[in-house]
């Protein structure tokens, strides 16, 4: 019997640092498989097909939706983004742990289909810090800042739908916390009941 | 508001290596407070009052039981062993995390009083290994071995009363898993609801 892999969902408000933390996790957890999203937005310089995204035409993307090939998807500013279902399900079935880095709406969709996933909410150390990070991008007008900051503060309310909150005070600390959460979940009795029932049978 | 500390209970069958692992945890988690038991058995050479045990007379021990000063206690081969309640409750109230290394019967008693403790079951990598470890002590007659081994195999059935199982295949791995479990529990949404409710209030 192969123990099913864990589906780890890393989400959180915009500006929390999901992308940075998830990139920093790769060398720390080399056996973890990082899901790659598809998108209809054109590749940016340096982006590689299958590494950063699977780049799709709008028609291809709509077909994937139609055929239920996406675990979750969203339209963001005229572009589509989504998570292919099949590679994730295949890896989980083989016992591999999978990491999904997605926004809060996406996480909500995933939770409906994988209620036993491990849902981690990454947050900035404070709303002040969040403000700085959004401004630090240097791409925001005052109006778009208010919009983003208001949305991020609002998104904090979703904490209660998650299993864990990780404060991203420093990337390496956040990475260590996520590694710990995964390791702890792998030790959880609830997730290993079948396995231990077998050991107990052997011993008696 | 001070966040209450975690009560971590490390238990498991005899021969799993609770003592070794718990000693190896100390330098890794220097802020964790290790509960010291009391006993009526006489100190062995090198044992230090307040470090290995609090050494008590039988009369003192019975008084402690009478006055509800023990979180759990047991009589083992004519000696009494028990866990003083007050130092644990004081540390938890101050927000310090506390580790309790006790046998399975003791853990059962503690769970009734601290249902929200973190209950970790330490097991040897296999029953074969357990056999080796019990024999390796070199202090067992064949009869006492059968007794110990049978009891340990039987004790495995208690797994389902615990939150986590840690396999003690190698002490440093077991230590890392326990450290992870504690860190994960500190990130758990369920344990931090009040704190996050406050953050959300601030942000809106």
Assign 3-class secondary structure to B158-192. HHHHCCEEEECCCHHHHHHHHHHHHHHHHHECHHH
Q: Is residue B69 part of a domain?
A: no
The answer to whether the annotation marks A16 as part of a ligand binding site is yes
Secondary structure element (H or E) that encloses residue B155, with its range: helix B142-155
Q: Is residue B82 part of a domain?
A: no
> Does residue B168 contact residue B124 with C-beta atoms inside 8 Å?
yes
- Do A27 and A83 reside in the same domain of the chain? no
- Do A161 and A127 reside in the same domain of the chain? yes
pLDDT tens-digit readout, A5-55: 999 999 998 888 999 999 999 999 999 999 999 999 999 999 999 998 999
Q: Is residue B55 part of a domain?
A: no
Q: How many CB contacts within 8 angstroms connect chain A with chain B? A: 94
Nearest chain B residue to A127, by CA:
B203
What are the structure tokens assigned to B197, written together?
Answer: 């409710």
pLDDT tens-digit readout, B155-204: 788 898 999 999 999 999 999 999 999 999 999 998 887 777 776 676 55
This complex has an ipTM of: 0.85
In this prediction, residues B116-121 reach a mean pLDDT of 96
pLDDT tens-digit readout, B81-112: 999 999 999 999 999 999 999 999 999 999 99
pLDDT tens-digit readout, B21-38: 999 999 999 999 999 999
Four-point Cα dihedral B166, B172, B178, B183, nearest 10: -140
B88/B141 Cα distance (integer angstroms): 38
pLDDT tens-digit readout, B45-86: 999 999 989 999 999 999 999 999 999 999 988 999 999 999
- Do A49 and A27 reside in the same domain of the chain? no
- Do A154 and A201 reside in the same domain of the chain? yes
The answer to whether the annotation marks B17 as part of a ligand binding site is yes
Half-sphere exposure at residue B19, Cβ-oriented, CA atoms within 13 angstroms: 4
Beta strand A33-34 with A38-39: parallel, antiparallel or unpaired? unpaired
- Domain end, chosen from A80, A95, A110, is at A95
Q: Is residue B196 part of a domain?
A: yes
Q: Which one of B127, B165, B184 has the shortest CB-CB distance to A180?
A: B184
Interface contact A189-B160, CB threshold 8 A: yes
Contacts of residue B166, defined as CB under 8 A and 6 or more positions apart, other chains included, come to A187, B21, B120, B121, B122, B123, B174, B177, B178, B181
The answer to whether the annotation marks B82 as part of a ligand binding site is no
In this prediction, residues A112-128 reach a mean pLDDT of 89
| Count of domains forming chain B | 1
Q: Which residue's entry shows tokens 């949305």?
A: A151
Nearest chain B residue to A173, by CA:
B183
Q: Which one of B121, B200, B202 has the shortest CB-CB distance to A157?
A: B200
Q: Is residue B79 part of a domain?
A: no
Q: Is residue B47 part of a domain?
A: no
From B56's Cα to the closest Cα of chain A, the distance in A is: 37
Residue B137 confidence class, pLDDT cut points 50, 70, 90: low
Interface contact B153-A192, CB threshold 8 A: no
pLDDT tens-digit readout, B119-132: 999 998 876 677 67
pLDDT tens-digit readout, A51-98: 989 999 999 999 999 999 999 999 988 999 999 999 999 999 999 999
Q: Choose among A94, A64, A71: nearest CA to A9.
A: A71
Q: Could you tell me how many residues make up chain A? A: 204
**How much is the pLDDT for B180?**
98
Residues in A closer than 8 angstroms to B164, CB to CB, are 184, 187-189
The answer to whether the annotation marks A4 as part of a ligand binding site is no
- DSSP code at position A17: -
Domain that holds residue B183: 7-35+97-203
Half-sphere exposure at residue A70, Cβ-oriented, CA atoms within 13 angstroms: 23
Nearest chain B residue to A163, by CA:
B189
- Do A69 and A107 reside in the same domain of the chain? no
Q: Choose among A93, A116, A128, A110: nearest CA to A163.
A: A116
**How much is the pLDDT for B192?**
82
- Domain end, chosen from A51, A68, A95, is at A95
More confident residue, B70 or A193: B70
B138 pLDDT higher than 70: no
Sign of the CA dihedral running A178, A183, A185, A191: positive
Q: Domain holding B12: CATH number?
A: 3.40.50.300
Mutation test of the interface with chain B: which of A183, A185, A204, choosing the one with the most B Cβ atoms within 10 A? A183
- DSSP code at position A162: S
- For helices B127-136 and A193-203, the axis angle rounded to 10 degrees is 60
**How much is the pLDDT for A125?**
82
The answer to whether the annotation marks A14 as part of a ligand binding site is yes
Residue A1 confidence class, pLDDT cut points 50, 70, 90: low
Four-point Cα dihedral A177, A12, A91, B187, nearest 10: 30
- Do A130 and A193 reside in the same domain of the chain? yes
Interface contact A189-B163, CB threshold 8 A: yes
**How much is the pLDDT for B151?**
73
Q: Is residue B169 part of a domain?
A: yes
A123 pLDDT higher than 70: yes
Percent of residues in chain A assigned helix, strand, coil, to nearest 5:
50, 20, 30
- Do A154 and A202 reside in the same domain of the chain? yes
**How much is the pLDDT for B144?**
73
The answer to whether the annotation marks B16 as part of a ligand binding site is yes
- Do A177 and A124 reside in the same domain of the chain? yes
E strands within chain B? Answer: 7-11, 33-34, 38-39, 54-55, 70-76, 79-84, 98-101, 118-123, 164-167
> Does residue A155 contact residue A13 with C-beta atoms inside 8 Å?
yes
- Do A63 and A46 reside in the same domain of the chain? yes
Interface contact B179-A180, CB threshold 8 A: yes
Q: For chain A, first and last CA: distance in Å?
A: 21
Q: Domain holding A41: CATH number?
A: 3.30.63.10
Q: Which one of A164, A183, A196 has the shortest CB-CB distance to B188?
A: A164
Interface contact A203-B121, CB threshold 8 A: no
- Do A79 and A129 reside in the same domain of the chain? no
Beta strand B98-101 with B33-34: parallel, antiparallel or unpaired? parallel
Residues in B closer than 8 angstroms to A199, CB to CB, are 127, 156
Q: Is residue B43 part of a domain?
A: no
- Do A26 and A104 reside in the same domain of the chain? yes
Residues in B closer than 8 angstroms to A166, CB to CB, are 187
- Do A91 and A51 reside in the same domain of the chain? yes
- DSSP code at position A165: E
Give whole-number Cα distances, A73 to A105, A204, B179, in Å: 9, 50, 36
Interface contact B189-A121, CB threshold 8 A: yes
């Amino acid at each position: 019997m192969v123990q099913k892999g864990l589906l780890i969902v890393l989400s959180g408000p915009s500006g929390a640092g999901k992308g940075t933390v998830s990139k920093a996790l790769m060398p720390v957890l080399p056996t973890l498989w990082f899901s790659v999203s598809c998108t209809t937005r054109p590749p940016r310089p340096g982006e590689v097909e299958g590494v950063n995204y699977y780049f799709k035409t709008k028609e291809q993307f709509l077909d994937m939706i139609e055929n239920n090939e996406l675990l979750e998807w969203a339209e963001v500013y005229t572009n589509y983004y989504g998570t292919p279902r099949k590679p994730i399900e295949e890896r989980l079935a083989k016992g591999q742990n999978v990491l999904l880095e997605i926004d809060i709406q996406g996480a909500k969709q995933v939770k409906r289909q994988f209620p036993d996933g491990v849902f981690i909410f990454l947050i900035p150390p404070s709303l002040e810090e969040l403000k700085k990070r959004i401004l630090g991008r240097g791409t925001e007008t005052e109006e778009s800042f208010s919009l983003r900051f208001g949305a991020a503060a609002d998104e904090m309310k979703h904490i209660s739908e998650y299993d864990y909150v990780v404060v991203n005070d420093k990337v390496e600390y956040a990475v260590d916390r996520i590694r710990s959460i995964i390791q702890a979940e792998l030790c959880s009795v609830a997730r290993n009941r079948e396995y231990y029932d077998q050991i107990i049978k052997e011993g008696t």
